[in-house]
Amino acid sequence: MNQLPKEQVVKSLRLFKSRRDDLLHEDIDTFEPNFKRFCDFCQKDSLVQSVITPLEALYTTDVQSWWKKIQSDDRDEMDLCFPEDPDEEFLLRYAIMADAVQQSDAGMRFGLALRKWKASEWKEMFRNLIIRPFADELSHRLGDVIDLATPEERSMQAVPLKYIPKSNEVRIFLSHKSQDKPMVKRYYQALADLGLSPWLDEPDMPAGTNLERGILQGFEESCAAVFFITENFKDENFLATEVDYAVMQKRKKGKKFTIITLRYGGNIPELLKPYTWATVSNDLEGFHELLRALPVQAGPIRWKSSIVED
């Protein structure tokens, strides 16, 4: 089944319910105009027709023959002479209504067949026994059609303000030995691709930046410090300073700062042992551990702009 625009479906359903409820529940004195409006709507509305048309292709209805049966003297009083097949019954009701709109005495004929002599009574009987079951069945069928034919609803996240960090507090400081830079750059790129905000000395410290001040600034803006411990790692002064800075940030920021150590080999410095660490055998494993330990998470799934923009 082809998909229908949601706006069209909503509009059709709104009109359908309005016409249906006017016909079923307004004063019986307004029956004729409301009946005509409802039938006109059903004949013209594309959503309603998407229910009716496939059935019309499958079944033929003989309204005149039904009129003969319903008016016949030997009819069982309880028998409304509808076919057993629910699709055929539904279609016949629709055809009876379309026929009744054309013939002003149709409702009265139906009433007389049911021995209701007063106009208000036969109108009420026609409304209860012919129209209401049709409207109920059509409501169900329309519900099925719109569920199949409308696109799935989009989903968004509503995030409380307290969940949203400032842009200058969510960087991820990547601390490493210079020999490990190719590996750390892969982490940097992967984090950036996920929409996170990694910090690495080379791209984030423009030439001429005071080294100590630049690194301290990097830590101040970060929510995590990641230490890559490989066989190349020796607890030399430069990294010891970064470990000190990380511990300082942890004391200052509490849960909003995480110290993560990914151990590819070598020994974990004593200062880092109280914090999160994992022994990893490859980058994928390391990246998984890193994402698990971070205090921030990657964003919701979206189409890339290059896919949706012309």
Partner 1 sequence: MDDQPRSINTFQFSYSLDRKNFFRRACPKCGLEFKTKAEPGEIASILQPTFRQMGLEIGETPESDEDHDNVKSCLICPYCGEQSETCDFLTLDFKRYLERFVYREVMLPQINSMFEGLADSIGHQKSGGGFLSIELSMEFNRSINPPRPISGPEPPDMKIVNLLCCNKEIKILENWNCGIYCPYCTSIEVLR
Do the Cβ atoms of 296 and 165 come closer than 8 Å? Answer: yes
The site map against partner 1 for 105-144 (x = CB under 8 A) is ----------------x--xx-xx--xx--xx--xx-xx-
Please, which residues have CB within 8 angstroms of residue 139's CB and are 6 or more apart in sequence?
Answer: 16, 20
Closest to partner 1 by CB, 166 vs 251, is 166
Do the Cβ atoms of 90 and 137 come closer than 8 Å? Answer: yes
Q: What angle, 0 to 180 degrees and rounded to 10, lies between the N-to-C axes of helices 6-25 and 46-58?
A: 80
Q: Of the listed pieces 155-163, 220-228, 236-244, 268-276, which binds partner 1 according to CB under 8 A? A: 155-163
The site map against partner 1 for 164-203 (x = CB under 8 A) is x---------------------------------------
User: Rounded to the nearest whole angstrom, what is the least distance from the CB of residue 267 to partner 1 in the complex?
Assistant: 40
Residue at 178: amino acid letter: S
Closest to partner 1 by CB, 137 vs 285, is 137
User: Rounded to the nearest whole angstrom, what is the least distance from the CB of residue 9 to partner 1 in the complex?
Assistant: 6
The span from the CA of 301 to the CA of 282, in Å, is 26
Q: Which of 1, 57, 58, 161 binds partner 1 (CB under 8 A)?
A: 161
The span from the CA of 190 to the CA of 192, in Å, is 5
What is the three-class DSSP state of 259? Answer: strand
Residue 271 in contact with partner 1, rule: CB under 8 A:
no
Residue 290 in contact with partner 1, rule: CB under 8 A:
no
User: Rounded to the nearest whole angstrom, what is the least distance from the CB of residue 24 to partner 1 in the complex?
Assistant: 5
Residue 240 in contact with partner 1, rule: CB under 8 A:
no
The span from the CA of 126 to the CA of 70, in Å, is 12
DSSP assignment letter at 131: I
The contact set with partner 1 (CB under 8 A) reads: 6, 9-10, 13, 17, 20-21, 24-25, 121, 124-125, 127-128, 131-132, 135-136, 139-140, 142-143, 146-147, 150, 153-164, 299-300
